[in-house]
Structure 1
């Protein structure tokens, strides 16, 4: 593969991965504007964020078998078409409940790109290269929380919130054209894969039973839910509790993503010296130390705006290191049904993320303590699951003598 072709693949796959997060982050500064226009509360508008997370969880499971059965490009085309139409609907809607429903549909459409991009990474690159490639995708993906809220805040300030969804509609169109013209068809349709519910469910069950899958999928998803907690809580945290305006909030959100991008690129360098397993363990130990410190400072009221930004910056840096490694190790054992494995991994991540965002909606009102408490608990749970699961993986490998399952060492 030439360097130019490699860069082209990374950019297109990265833009596919970034479409969902862009759709989440870009409209965050416009919550109060949407609430005012649709005659409702900011709390009800925030339910559109939760419906988006639920839509992605559901959609991931839908596209997994479709991508394995029909190849990557056809389901991707249909999903992006749904996304474009739903984005247009969000722009012209006048009822909050219809808006919440359309956000669900928009999410179902967008995750065709999310699932296809991860499955195509597994198709196109050797297993040992996957964490490295995923780190590079994080660089493109990381531009989303840098650019999206900042663009969203300026668009909202000068033109209102409706144009945000026209911009998302155009982005969907760009990803559709780029993916259809610029990506190879990496997976031939496999008609042995049934689309009847029973075989699909038994296929998912077979994937879930692989110890390497459930250990790293759960560890990565529960740890990563800290990001969803932060995203869901950030408009309340910065605009209501810490009293910054929409434009400043956009810039703070952009600054935070520098942490995530920087650490995911540092991950590429560290992988030359350390294994993915060591990277995950180290990142989670650091994340526990940071989140516990953060919680103590928050309870004592010792954090102002800059202290809060500093603690969140450090917390997100840990996720930038652990996430590409947990994803790489989760998918390593699968060659035939990569689409389904990728979908299950994504659904687990987004499902747990949706629960975190619901918890934020219930508990985060006028204090940052509940947000930090959720982040601390999820980090500790992820660490416990990692250590229990690693023993199970070791036992499975010793029993079966199967070396493929331990790829990533």
Structure 2
């Protein structure tokens, strides 16, 4: 961590957590806000369901590609410039989305949105580890997850309200205001947390060698899979909301918030539990506890989808419980990932986000279209994604040391 951390931020720790959570929420907020207007945008732009799905997958793939560089650039040039430039581009891309006159233009600007939105979440993780030792870092990471959960819970309600009472363009004008507000607040409040002595020289060859070193590390890659792939067990339902909620559960756009309340409520509750367990339970035990919860929920979800009529009364709480299990373990796994490269935490965060986002993009572009019209297909896919993460963690759990310093 930065030896000058105590002088860089003198306000309460929770205040920094709120600021970083606002950065981290830009990505998911950009998805959740416009989902209730999916069908309306398709009608307005004369777009097919496949083309509309591309507005999601192009965003996620752009997010994944640039995430490979945000953290590495912040290791060289500092955390603050990368965050501010990312927010400026995100704001401009939101204006482009609002003015889009065709689905092709919307896909283009959504790609630019995705390429810029990841700066906040990638760099915020490195900032946390710059500023705090392991136990405190886990608490702050949990607080960020907790506060971050509020925005996606509100986003679909805001999006549904704007779509019903204005039009779909207003959703992207709203995201423009969000980007502007975040740029101003971070310009005024965010300190530079990368210690000058830890800044890395910008040499393309050296960067590529470091990328290769991390990518060829079995432990690093398994930890990344353990943190990112299970998230998609919940996220595929988010991506399939227009079909899952609209066609299977027969929800109106204004009712989508019930799904997000369950999902984000689970994330917030799990993050709160994770923060309370920091320093009281070993990382290995806490991670296993999260996987046990997700595993039990997956079994029940598949069984009920096989034998019971679909009902929001059991389907939505189960997704919320799955989210709870993921949030219990993910702050711990994320810190373990960052500490695999203590001198290159920005790069480690970039690779983690890139691989996770690439998985999100594949789920959005390939898996969701295959399974979204079948509730049992969604349940089995969710269980399978959880299992991939569990196998990855189980394979390296004994060789992972508790972070120090």
TM range (shorter): over 0.9
Structure 2 distance, partners of 1:245, 1:191, is 51
TM-fit CA distance, 1:302: 3.6
| Aligned partner (choices 194, 197, 212) of residue 202 of structure 2 | 194
| Aligned partner (choices 33, 51, 64) of residue 57 of structure 1 | 64
Residues 295-329 of structure 1: per-residue CA shift (max 9 Å, x gap): 12212344312121122121111111121111111
Q: Which residue of 2 aligns with 1:67?
A: 74
Q: TM-score, normalised by structure 1?
A: 0.92
Structure 2 distance, partners of 1:195, 1:49, is 34
TM-fit CA distance, 1:188: 4.7
Q: Which residue of 2 aligns with 1:42?
A: 49
Q: Which residue of 1 aligns with 2:310?
A: 303
CA contact (8 A) 1:66 1:195 kept: no
Verify: 1:375 aligned to 2:386, yes or no: no
Change (3 A) 1:182 1:358: same
Range 82-91 or range 66-75, more displaced: 66-75
Structure 2 distance, partners of 1:25, 1:337, is 32
Residues 41-71 of structure 1: per-residue CA shift (max 9 Å, x gap): 2332122111111111111112122111111
Residues 350-382 of structure 1: per-residue CA shift (max 9 Å, x gap): 111212222344213432111111110111121
CA contact (8 A) 1:28 1:152 kept: yes
| Aligned partner (choices 120, 140, 151) of residue 147 of structure 2 | 140
Q: Specify the SS of the correspondent of 1:175.
A: helix
Structure 1 distance, partners of 2:309, 2:138, is 38
Which runs of no fewer than 5 residues in structure 2 stay unpaired?
A: 1-5
CA contact (8 A) 2:236 2:368 kept: no
Verify: 1:171 aligned to 2:173, yes or no: no
Residues 93-134 of structure 1: per-residue CA shift (max 9 Å, x gap): 011012112111011111111211111111111123222111
Change (3 A) 1:43 1:250: farther
Verify: 1:238 aligned to 2:245, yes or no: yes
Structure 1 distance, partners of 2:78, 2:280, is 36
Q: Which residue of 1 aligns with 2:21?
A: 14
TM-fit CA distance, 1:236: 0.9
Q: How does 1:284-295 map to 2 (within 5 A)?
A: 284-295=291-302
TM-fit CA distance, 1:215: 2.7
TM-fit CA distance, 1:341: 0.6
Structure 2 distance, partners of 1:188, 1:311, is 44
Cα RMSD after superposing both structures: 2.0
Structure 1 distance, partners of 2:338, 2:249, is 40
TM-fit CA distance, 1:210: 4.2
Q: Specify the SS of the correspondent of 1:336.
A: helix
TM-fit CA distance, 1:73: 1.5
Residues 227-263 of structure 1: per-residue CA shift (max 9 Å, x gap): 3212111221011111110001123323331111111
CA contact (8 A) 1:128 1:408 kept: no
Q: Which residue of 2 aligns with 1:109?
A: 116
Structure 2 distance, partners of 1:283, 1:111, is 25
Change (3 A) 1:373 1:154: same
Q: Which residue of 1 aligns with 2:234?
A: 227
| Aligned partner (choices 91, 98, 107) of residue 84 of structure 1 | 91
Q: Which residue of 1 aligns with 2:133?
A: 126
Range 220-229 or range 164-173, more displaced: 220-229
> Number of aligned pairs?
397
Q: Specify the SS of the correspondent of 2:86.
A: helix
Structure 1 distance, partners of 2:119, 2:267, is 24
Structure 1 distance, partners of 2:372, 2:326, is 25
Q: Specify the SS of the correspondent of 2:352.
A: helix
Q: Which residue of 2 aligns with 1:319?
A: 326
TM-fit CA distance, 1:219: 0.7
TM-fit CA distance, 1:408: 6.7
| Aligned partner (choices 28, 31, 49) of residue 24 of structure 1 | 31
Change (3 A) 1:351 1:143: same
CA contact (8 A) 1:25 1:149 kept: yes
Range 371-380 or range 250-259, more displaced: 250-259
Change (3 A) 1:145 1:3: same
Structure 2 distance, partners of 1:26, 1:185, is 31
Structure 2 distance, partners of 1:192, 1:358, is 36
Q: Which residue of 1 aligns with 2:169?
A: 162
Residues 149-173 of structure 1: per-residue CA shift (max 9 Å, x gap): 0111111110011111111111111
Range 355-364 or range 380-389, more displaced: 355-364
TM-fit CA distance, 1:205: 1.7
